[in-house]
Amino acid sequence: MLALLVHARPRRILEIGTALGHMTANLAEWSPDEAVVFSLGTVAGEPATGSPQQAPEAPPRADFGRLAGHFGKGHKVFLTTADSLHYDFSRLAPLDFAFIDGAHDLQHVLSDSRKVYEALAPGGCLVWHDFNSPIAWVQVRQALEQAGLKERGWEKPTPSLPTPRPRFGGEGSRNTPSPPLPLPRGERGEE
Ligand SMILES: C[S@@+](CC[C@H](N)C(=O)[O-])C[C@H]1O[C@@H](n2cnc3c(N)ncnc32)[C@H](O)[C@@H]1O
């Protein structure tokens, strides 16, 4: 995913699912200096929707996004504690790059994907974690198969200047350019 990020050179970046801020730090490090990174997530002890299996992933408030400035790029990061199911992503539009890694059940991935898609700039990138997860309650693939997202750039191409297409990708392997901030081992046995 970070190779794609470097290539895309996005200015407005979103992460859903902040946790401790490992990937937030990488998004800030590997994006252009003028980029901004919005990262949104839940914290332990506050009401949130989602599957019970994922509840342990919510960090204590004191740890939320704690590592976002690991590479000295914390000034690029805007952290928000919120439940993505109720969040209006249009306030962050236009987004050039979005990493969807919050609640992984069908309802949330569908909701996050559709709302972020609407906030995506032409040519923007959408990336999901755990697309091919074998875990039953991780339903990213099913959500994307239902979402029916179209590559909107092709709907009304300008004859002389084709509109860039949104680009979609999965981030299932955590393969990243060196040296990224190491990510913690997950609870789901896929890392
Ligand atoms: C797999 S972790 C994210 C890991 C992080 N993106 C990284 O790569 O370092 C998933 C995170 O999503 C958050 N989360 C779960 N349900 C959410 C919801 N409904 N809205 C926003 N965040 C949610 C949890 O707090 C958890 O920290």
Residue nearest to atom 23 of ligand 1 (CA): 102
Interval between CA 157 and ligand 1 midpoint (Å): 36
pLDDT at 190: 43
Residue nearest to atom 21 of ligand 1 (CA): 41
pLDDT at 151: 75
Counting atoms of ligand 1 from 1, which one is nearest the CA of 21? 9
* Residue 126 · residue 171 · CB < 8 Å: no
pLDDT at 9: 97
Three-state SS for 17-59 is CCCCCHHHHHHHHCCCCCCEEEEEECCCCCCCCCCHHHHHHCC
Residue nearest to atom 25 of ligand 1 (CA): 58
Counting atoms of ligand 1 from 1, which one is nearest the CA of 22? 9
> How buried is 130 (Cβ within 10 angstroms: 0-12 exposed, 13-18 middle, 19+ buried)?
buried
How would you write the pLDDT of the chain (191 residues) with one tens digit per residue? 999 999 999 999 999 999 999 999 999 999 999 999 999 999 999 887 888 888 999 999 999 999 999 999 999 999 999 999 999 999 999 999 999 999 999 999 999 999 999 999 999 999 999 999 999 999 999 999 999 998 755 454 445 555 555 666 665 433 334 456 665 555 454 43
Angle at 115 between CA 112 and CA 121, to 5 degrees: 120
pLDDT at 50: 80
Q: Strand, coil or helix: what is 5? A: helix
Whole-structure pTM value: 0.84
- Residue 115's φ and ψ, nearest 5 degrees, are -70, -40
> What domains can you pick out in the chain, each with its CATH number?
2-150 (3.40.50.150)
* Residue 1 · residue 173 · CB < 8 Å: no
102 Cβ inside 6 Å of ligand 1: yes
183 Cβ inside 6 Å of ligand 1: yes
23 Cβ inside 6 Å of ligand 1: yes
Q: Which of 80, 89, 78, 81 has its CA nearest to residue 114?
A: 89
Running DSSP on this structure, what letter comes out for residue 15?
Answer: E
Residue nearest to atom 3 of ligand 1 (CA): 17
Interval between CA 180 and ligand 1 midpoint (Å): 19
Question: Locate tokens 């249009």: which residue?
Answer: 90
pLDDT at 147: 94
Interval between CA 154 and ligand 1 midpoint (Å): 32
Residue nearest to atom 24 of ligand 1 (CA): 58
